[in-house]
Copies of this chain bind each other. A is one copy, B any other.
Amino acid sequence: MGADDVRRVAEALASARSIVVASHVDPDGDAIGSTLALWHALQTTGATVLPVLARGTTPPATYAFLPGSSAYRQAGAVPPPDVFIALDTPNLARLGEAAELARAASFLVFIDHHPDGDDVGHVRIIDTAAAAVGEMLFDIIPALGLSVDKAVATCLFTAVMTDTGRFSYGNTSPRSLEIAADLVRHGADPSAIFRAVYESRSPGALRLIGRTLSRITLAAGGAIAYSWVTDDDLAETGALPEETENLVDQVRALGGADIVFLVKESAEGQRVSLRAKGAADVGSVARRFGGGGHAAAAGFTFSGDRAALLDVLVPALAEVLP
């Protein structure tokens, strides 16, 4: 981060009577953790500080354990602030319902680690080498003259832990782990945070994972593996639709598979989530089927039945195997 950028943000905060902190729609652990960490840290400024959701009325239940999660407001219920700080968000569109507040704010700041963000905002602090915006805030919060207390540390640890996949994704740097160490020194409790994020599934969600794993099927000599769930599975296990998010990651645990995918079958068709464990580009396949995503994670919707889907999808994926 540039010292000049931080100075300009500090000056804007010093004269602000109202500050909004927000992140992207469909918020993940970095979005929620970073927003609440900065919200906590800004409490000492004397301004009215509000964390604002980009969509909906409450943050995801997974992150309800974070201190301050009940302080979230809907964007429509908040007047335009003096300072708007957008976190983990490359552009105004990803701010959803909060974009209007961002446009109307006197001073707009983006703190982000995504590449290819729009050139919008009075100050943009961008670090594409950071695994999480939570990492960036660990430096920025003290640079703004604010403190990292236990609540801030808990939120930032959650941000770093989730965005690095528990320190296992390729983005996990020595710096990620060092910051995590410092956050534990500042009061973050790794085991309590771990239990809250990863060991708080519902019985229905676990039974749905059970069905998913029981059905794992191999193709292309084991290099491709897939499974599926249906609306009937949700009804029978008691799992909620939101509990199918990331279900495909359970299939990743299979050794030898370079590409894994999960099909969610409903009356509307087949929703396919693709994941590459190695070097395959599943995004290119998703685009061929009218979907999108990255090389390692992508998805699309198919209007035929599951057998018809497998007939065309498996050969298409076999073509992009490493």
Contacts and interface: CB of A to CB of B under 8 A. Distances in A.
Q: Contact size class for A?
A: 35 or more
Q: Secondary structure at chain A's binding surface: helix, strand, loop or mixed?
A: helix
Given A177-B177, A181-B174, A206 B198 contact: no
15 contacts: A167-B167, A167-B190, A169-B190, A170-B191, A172-B191, A177-B184, A199-B255, A203-B225, A207-B214, A209-B213, A209-B253, A210-B213, A210-B214, A210-B215, A211-B214
A136 interface: no
Contacts of A218: 203
Nearest to A166: B166
A174 B182 CA distance: 7
A95 interface: no
A167 to B, nearest CB: 6
A63 interface: no
A150 interface: no
A254 to B, nearest CB: 6
Copy count, this protein chain: 2
A212 B209 CA distance: 10
Given A168-B191, A206-B251, 20 more contacts: A166-B166, A166-B167, A167-B180, A169-B190, A170-B191, A172-B191, A173-B184, A174-B182, A176-B181, A177-B177, A199-B254, A199-B255, A201-B253, A201-B254, A201-B255, A203-B222, A206-B253, A207-B216, A209-B213, A210-B210
A231 interface: no
A247 B308 CA distance: 35
Contact of A184 (B169, B172, B213): B172
Interface in A174-226: 174-178, 180-182, 184-185, 190-191, 194-195, 198-203, 206-207, 209-216, 218, 222, 225
Nearest to A165: B194
A190 B213 contact: no
Contacts of A194: 165, 168
Nearest to A215: B210
Nearest to A175: B181
Contacts of A167: 161, 166-167, 180, 190
A294 interface: no
Contacts of A94: none
A198 B190 CA distance: 19
Given A169-B191, A190-B167, A198-B253, A203 B216 contact: yes
Nearest to A252: B199
Nearest to A208: B213
Contact of A211 (B168, B182, B195, B210): B210
B202 A255 contact: yes
A306 interface: no
